[in-house]
């Protein structure tokens, strides 16, 4: 793995732009001077730990083009650590709350899993209960992402003397997304972007250009999530793959809307559109992920 500006590991070849001209996204880390670190930590060991745990590849060539949410915490080390610790405790408690609430639903909180669609209820009640479980599951996942990332950030900055700027937010604000394009490209986390591009996006581009890259990346995402469930002895369920695979046509629809109306998907109606996709169309996905939390 090469850092931005390196010709080979540890050898700098001039200065490269930190801005990816192809998509307007910037990671802004190539020109930052490397700070002196704990003398007991070898640089190669620090780099190995960093590239494994950041996943987005900040400062690394493979991470160019990743959208990085703006910093929301103080950049001074001590205030940054306090803010991160506060965030960790908040997300820890939220995750515990959401997971505890899920256990109130019969069968849902059982380690072997259970359906969130109760056939004994009338359709309106069944839909309300399933939607509530689905939203609790999604909220638990969000808190879990934030909690684990906060913990790794605390260790990186406090123990390994990493710069606070090397640990920007793991995601934006998914609840504020007013288009699915914005949701997937900016508000949702980008931790697995490289994985999905390698296993689906790049092969898809070789076969069918940009359209193939779009469909390939989402297909890889669906397979990634479903294989994780399959490895937990949950069997194989195509609904997860279908949901992620359908995101390609959804983004194409948004592009067509802009082409024919001259306006981007956005505003209040755009947010309702996002909520429909996430809270209604994605319920089979929530059912599947709820089993993972169990």
Answer yes or no: is 70 within a domain. no
Are 41 and 97 in a shared domain?
no
pLDDT given at position 246: 93
DSSP string covering 108-143:
TTSTT---SS-TTS-HHHHHHHHHHHHHHHHHHHHH
pLDDT lower than 50: segments of the chain:
16-31, 291, 293-294
Answer yes or no: is 184 within a domain. yes
Answer yes or no: is 240 within a domain. yes
Are 192 and 258 in a shared domain?
yes
Report whether 35 contacts 43 (CB < 8 A).
no
Question: At residue 26, what are phi and psi to the nearest 5 degrees?
Answer: -135, 140
Answer yes or no: is 124 within a domain. yes
Are 87 and 24 in a shared domain?
no
Counted domains in the chain: 3
Are 195 and 257 in a shared domain?
yes
Are 178 and 277 in a shared domain?
yes
Domain end point (choices 11, 30, 64): 64
Domain end point (choices 147, 166, 185): 166
pLDDT given at position 232: 78
Are 150 and 199 in a shared domain?
no
Report whether 178 contacts 270 (CB < 8 A).
yes
Q: What is the rounded distance in angstroms from the CA atom of residue 136 to the CA atom of residue 91? A: 14
pLDDT given at position 66: 82
Whole domain around residue 138: which residue ranges?
77-166
CB count in 10 Å sphere of residue 206: 11
CA distances from 269 to 179, 263, 280 (A): 9, 12, 15
Domain end point (choices 143, 166, 189): 166
pLDDT given at position 28: 43
Are 178 and 269 in a shared domain?
yes
CA distances from 97 to 100, 107, 160, 164, 173 (A): 5, 18, 31, 29, 20
Are 244 and 193 in a shared domain?
yes
Answer yes or no: is 117 within a domain. yes
Report whether 244 contacts 218 (CB < 8 A).
yes
């Amino acid at each position: 793995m090469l850092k931005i500006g390196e010709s080979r590991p540890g050898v700098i070849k001039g200065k490269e732009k930190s801005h990816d001209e192809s998509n307007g996204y910037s990671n802004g880390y190539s020109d930052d001077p490397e700070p002196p670190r704990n003398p007991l930590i070898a640089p190669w060991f620090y780099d190995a730990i960093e590239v494994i745990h950041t996943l987005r590849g900040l400062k690394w060539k493979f991470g160019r083009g990743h959208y990085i949410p703006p910093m929301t915490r103080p950049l001074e080390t001590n205030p940054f650590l306090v803010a991160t610790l506060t965030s960790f405790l908040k997300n820890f408690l939220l995750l515990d709350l959401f997971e505890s609430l899920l256990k109130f639903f019969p069968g849902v909180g059982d380690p072997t899993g259970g359906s969130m669609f109760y056939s004994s209820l009338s359709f309106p009640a069944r839909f309300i209960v399933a939607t509530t479980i689905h939203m609790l599951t999604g909220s638990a996942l969000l808190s879990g992402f934030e909690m684990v990332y906060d913990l790794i950030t605390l260790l990186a900055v406090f123990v390994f003397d990493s710069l606070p700027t090397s640990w920007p937010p793991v995601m934006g604000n998914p609840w504020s997304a007013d288009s699915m394009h914005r949701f997937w490209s900016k508000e949702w986390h980008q931790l697995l972007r490289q994985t999905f591009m390698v296993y689906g996006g790049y092969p898809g581009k070789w076969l069918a250009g940009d359209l193939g890259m779009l469909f390939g990346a989402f297909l890889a995402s669906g397979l990634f999530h479903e294989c994780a469930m399959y490895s937990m002895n949950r069997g194989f369920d195509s609904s997860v793959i279908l949901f992620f695979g359908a995101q390609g046509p959804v983004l194409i629809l948004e592009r067509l809307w802009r082409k024919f109306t001259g306006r981007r998907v956005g505003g209040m109606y755009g947010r309702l559109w996002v909520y429909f996709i996430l809270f209604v169309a994605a319920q089979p996905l929530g059912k599947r992920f709820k089993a993972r939390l169990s």
